[in-house]
A and B are shown apart, each in its own frame.
Chain A
Amino acid sequence: MSLLRTRQLTKSYHLDEVEQRVLTGVDLELVAGEFVGLVGPSGCGKTTLLNLCGLIDRPDSGQLFWHDRELTGQTQAYLTELRRRTIGFVFQDFNLIPVMSAWDNIAYPLMLLGMSGTEQKERVRSLAEAVGIDTLLDKRPARLSGGQRQRVAIARALAKRPELIIADEPTASLDEDTALTVVELLRDLGRQYGSTVLVATHDARLTRWCDRLIRLHHGHLVHNSTTEGVTAGEVLV
């Protein structure tokens, strides 16, 4: 079942009259529950594509379908509500709210949904246990290590049991071991909650966790396969 489908997405940036065509026609389909890695050389447009799929940016042309429903031309408010209910984000540099405790950071998306206090408590607790930060819940982000922060961020992204999680290089600020555990968490919990995860990464070792890998090249997807047979070398090109 298709969760998100794109047709011929294009996106260009204009810098001093020079047009840089970043995406030239991306056809992508994400199926519910899968864990998809997006790879490609730096500057190839991974972040640009993730922003479009996360509905925080709009394409120049092409179409996006959410559950086969066309999103082109929907209002900003409509997209906001859609993100509020169904999309979670994990950012490279965490983007936690510094004045909130880990607990409140995780609970924030639930508060946006108007969830009751007891239900929030239950979810935050179980997620915190799952990502292994249940003893750190009263701490503010500044008092946590990078890995701990990203665990909080993952818990936050998962809290509302979103249909889609967008993760742009979630491990780039972490050391190798931490990066591995964090991605493993993201995949396992995504699976557990039935969330589709789209993760952009440079890190070849992470790709073996992916159900499927897609590679951006010259503005469109050139590789769309299972991870079998993809070598680290290929990923990094």
Chain B
Amino acid sequence: MKWLLLAWSNLGRNRRRTLATLMLTAIGVTGIMATSGFALYTYESLQEFAMRDKGHVILTHPDFYSEQEDFPLQYGLEEAASLQRTLLGDEEVRDTLATVEFSGLITNGDKSTIFLGEGVEPELFQVRGPVMQLNDGRLFGVSEDNTDAQALIGQSLANNLKVGVGDGLTLMSTTVDGALNAIDVVVRGIVSTGVPEMDSRLVMTQIEDAQRLLNSDRVTRIGVYLSDNDDADDYYRQLVEAYPELGVTAWHERAFFYKSVRNLYNRIFGVMGVVILAMVGFAIFNTASMSVMERIREIGALAAMGTRRREILRLFLMEAGLIGGLGSLVGLALAGLLSLGLMVFEVQMPPPPGQTEGYPLQVYWSLQVAWISSALVIALSVLASGFATLKGVRKPIVEALNYA
């Protein structure tokens, strides 16, 4: 306790230097917290997005993701509706969505282009929440019975075909039997997904219309949506056991964007973290070297009075530990202010590559990262100070006492 007090007093010897080192340490911790907090926020947003997009667990024909289909829905799921009813019996399950993926040509009579179609259930938008932006018209509603087949199409596709809400279009595709088929649809809404390639190709219809076009009652996949994101892993394992005859896929296996962003960020921010830690280490090393040199005579006097080397060394380590610890605290507080500030004053990030929409910049304040980064910074401070002071502390007493 006395030693700690002495260490604390020693920090006051050169206040400016102590403060500068402390601030550098604090800024280092803030940097680590901010970058990792941003990464965590991004991961969670992308995870959320990926889970919403296809569901927490995806059920398909076992070969669907590994083989190429010779004809539409070759590797589709039979009896989707009864499977969905069974799944809904599990208490973790919030909802299920069956989807038919299809493609073909879309034409306004004068002009045709390729489309990528999704036949969806009308409650899709309630279940998934906002994953796309409605620019005009309406999304599919749940309890409407529409006589006409209707479609939501991407904004660029609408522009390309010069159609608006209420206009008619024709979708052409091959059926499961290899015949050419076509259905007429009315444009119900125009949407943006944020991905330009998608917006120029996307056509969403009700699932029955897609099945009619393909002449099949199979579906491509069933997305299972859980009430709690945290159940995803457990429930996935449960389904793998329960349905050995089906393809059971966890959300992250198909979340390619999430995975690549995560890989990229981990590397970028990992390198940044190492650079920040190195800077903190050198700053402490520098401060400790200076302070040990200024105090060589005093070290000599302490040693003459019978203070053990390791007690003297420990004193310097405590000083560095205090700087590291206080710096960490200040840094964590600054990082907290930063994430609060970003919640209050929204800062918009530019769109990521391949996207048209920006997103709000946010920084998570993670307790786990806080622990790890403070522990690292304190350990590093103590280590750097140890290196810097060992030589001074080891000086022969007489030499130290005569040190000019």
Contacts and interface: CB of A to CB of B under 8 A. Distances in A.
Interface in A69-88: 77, 80-85, 87-88
Interface stretch (A90-98, A124-132, A185-193): A90-98
B306 A95 contact: no
Contacts of A89: 301, 304-305
Contacts of A81: 306
Contact of A85 (B10, B13, B301, B306): B306
A108 B302 CA distance: 9
B275 interface: no
A99 interface: yes
B13 A98 contact: yes
A100 B303 contact: no
B6 interface: yes
Interface stretch (B266-274, B354-362, B394-402): B394-402
Nearest to B302: A97
A57 interface: yes
Interface string B1-15: 010001001101100
A85 B306 CA distance: 8
A110 B101 CA distance: 84
A121 to B, nearest CB: 14
A57 B307 contact: no
A172 interface: no
B304 A97 contact: no
Nearest to A56: B397
A97 B398 contact: no
A51 B401 CA distance: 11
A111 interface: yes
A59 interface: no
B265 to A, nearest CB: 45
A83 B13 contact: no
Contact of A99 (B12, B300, B301, B401): B12
A1 interface: no
B397 A112 contact: no
B298 interface: yes
Contacts of B398: 51, 56-57
Interface string A171-215: 000000000000000000000000000000000000000000000
Given A80-B308, A100-B6, A95 B298 contact: yes
Contact of B305 (A77, A99, A100, A112): A112
Nearest to A117: B2
Contact of A80 (B13, B300, B306): B306
A85 B397 CA distance: 17
A170 interface: no
Nearest to B297: A95
Contacts of A111: 2
A54 interface: yes
B306 A99 contact: no
B6 A99 contact: yes
A98 B302 CA distance: 12
Contacts of A83: 304-306
A219 interface: no
Interface in B330-373: none
Interface string A37-76: 0000000000000010010110000000000000000000
Given A83-B305, A97-B298, A109-B306, 8 more contacts: A56-B398, A81-B306, A83-B306, A84-B306, A85-B306, A87-B306, A89-B301, A99-B9
27 contacts: A54-B304, A57-B398, A77-B308, A80-B303, A80-B309, A82-B306, A83-B305, A83-B306, A84-B305, A84-B306, A84-B308, A85-B306, A89-B301, A91-B301, A95-B297, A95-B300, A95-B401, A97-B6, A98-B13, A99-B6, A99-B12, A100-B6, A109-B306, A111-B2, A112-B305, A112-B306, A112-B307
Please give me the 3 A-B residue pairs with the lowest Cβ-Cβ distance, nearest first: A84-B306, A95-B301, A99-B9
Interface of B: 2, 6, 9-10, 12-13, 297-298, 300-309, 396-398, 401
